Structure 1
Amino acid sequence: MSEKILLIEDDLEMQSLIGDYLHNYDFEVKAFDKPKEALSHLKANPSHYKVVVLDLMLPQMDGFDVCKEIRAMSDAHIIISSARNELSDKILGYGVGADDYLAKPYEPRELVLKINSFLRRNTQSNKRVGDFEIDEAKMEVSLEGYHLDLTKIEFDILLLLLSNQGKVFSREVIFNAINGIGYNSKDRTVDMHISNLRAKIGDDPKNPKYIKSVWGIGYKMVG
């Protein structure tokens, strides 16, 4: 399955050059020359792209503002591709959320190398389960592209459930499996953490999409 790349470049000749080159390396490229259209598309598909290649000299919006908006809605790896190559531009780019910076002119092969390097690192530490993307090394979880601010205990419970989708875990098993969960009543402690976790993933406790209650036993992950 080819990885999807979002390309935002208003120079149509450059856009075609980069797009064709990435296609030759089996990447699926969606290109825009207008940043507002690209942002609308990304907002509707926040977890669709692992990499965004972004020019800075754009119509409608300043490229740094575009970068900031992309970072607010997506965990994608942002590579700035720009003729603006002053150190101040690079510092500002990283400051608004860019992960890498390529100063034009450059060989398209260099862009491919940077993308492949990121994807190789990402594959080693990240895994996707349903709508969730998990980086165990960093103890981070994203849901449909949005980063979740979880405590260590919440992360451990979510990882336990996600790694065993459909399996029912009793409150006692969850309590004993999670280090540092506390010493109060098992049922009350586990229920409290599940409640907090549901709130953070937007799960309606009366009709949950992800974490289902199994009456009299405990919980299971279904989404």
Structure 2
Amino acid sequence: MQRILVVEDEQRLASILADYLHAAGYSTHCLGEGRGVVAWVRGNRPDLILLDLMLPGRDGMEICKEIRTFSTVPIIMVTARIEEIDRLLGLELGADDYVCKPFSPREVVARVKAVLRRTSARTPAPHGLRVDASTMRVSLDGHHLDLTAVEFKLLAFLLAHPGRIYSREQLMEGMYPDQRIVNDRTIDSHIKKLRRKLDLARSGCNLIRSVYGVGYTFDPDPE
């Protein structure tokens, strides 16, 4: 059963939403203020979050922004603000959809179903990496990786042909098509930093493997 986190300070409204979501086959957990939301998400990994914008303790946009630093869990913003800028800000911060108060609980359930259907297509590959070239966002096992532009290009280059071994020269040609002069040890430095960030998301991660005397490869099944 998929679990929905309802973050709503109006207790009656939260209870109504929970009842409708239960009737639709979801389990729910409700939080009434903003301070404990991020810690709860880290510890419980919900399948979707209904996040009110105006909360006591902490603003919903701040919460959404912080969650997006470590998780790609679908988020539907719930707001009484109708100004277009607030809607756009919510989506730009990583929200998947929004609903405006007042709303029908049936509409919210329909939005939840639609977002879960849409985001299910973003299921990570078996190696756990999710790469969005349009936004240059990368996550591993749901944890956001804060990559530089060069690190992103390097990872994407290796990921395009998993299992293929690239020499440093080939990686430099792929990374720097303008033929700038770069020391081949620069690639080693970028690989080292990239591996460190992968390891922070998954301890012992060995997706990028060194091949002694040859170069590097992306190993989708390092076990």
Q: Does 1:114 align with 2:111?
A: yes
- Of 141, 160, 166 in structure 2, the residue corresponding to residue 171 of structure 1 is 166
Aligned amino acid, residue 74 of structure 1? S
Aligned amino acid, residue 86 of structure 2? L
The residue correspondences of 1:22-171 to structure 2 (distance < 5 A) are 22-44=21-43, 48-82=45-79, 84-87=80-83, 91-92=85-86, 94-95=88-89, 97=93, 98-125=95-122, 127-135=124-132, 140-143=137-140, 144-149=142-147, 151=149, 153-160=153-160, 164=162, 169-171=164-166
CA displacement, residues 39-92 of structure 1 (integer Å, 9 cap, x when unaligned):
2112445xx34532112343323444434443444333332223x2332xx523
**Cα gap change, 1:132/1:3 in structure 2, threshold over 3 Å: closer, same or farther?**
farther
Aligned residue pair count:
208
Aligned amino acid, residue 171 of structure 1? Y
TM-score by length of 1: 0.67
Aligned amino acid, residue 15 of structure 1? A
SS at match of 1:36: coil
**Cα gap change, 1:158/1:215 in structure 2, threshold over 3 Å: closer, same or farther?**
same
Distance 2:138 2:64 in 1: 22
What displacement does 1:188 show? Answer: 5.2
Structure 2 unmatched ranges of 5 or more:
none
Conserved 8 A contact 1:94-1:100: no
SS at match of 1:134: strand
**Cα gap change, 1:44/1:78 in structure 2, threshold over 3 Å: closer, same or farther?**
same
Aligned alpha-carbon RMSD (Å): 3.8
Partner of residue 19, structure 1? 18
Seq. identity, %: 29
CA displacement, residues 3-49 of structure 1 (integer Å, 9 cap, x when unaligned):
4432211233322221232233333433222322222112445xx34
**Cα gap change, 1:122/1:173 in structure 2, threshold over 3 Å: closer, same or farther?**
farther
Distance 2:58 2:36 in 1: 11
Aligned amino acid, residue 159 of structure 1? L
Distance 1:61 1:190 in 2: 42
What displacement does 1:138 show? Answer: 5.5
Conserved 8 A contact 1:126-1:135: no
CA displacement, residues 178-213 of structure 1 (integer Å, 9 cap, x when unaligned):
94566789x857645533421443469xx9523343
Distance 2:191 2:115 in 1: 34
Distance 2:72 2:47 in 1: 8
What displacement does 1:156 show? Answer: 2.0
Conserved 8 A contact 2:153-2:175: yes
Partner of residue 194, structure 1? 191
Aligned amino acid, residue 123 of structure 1? S
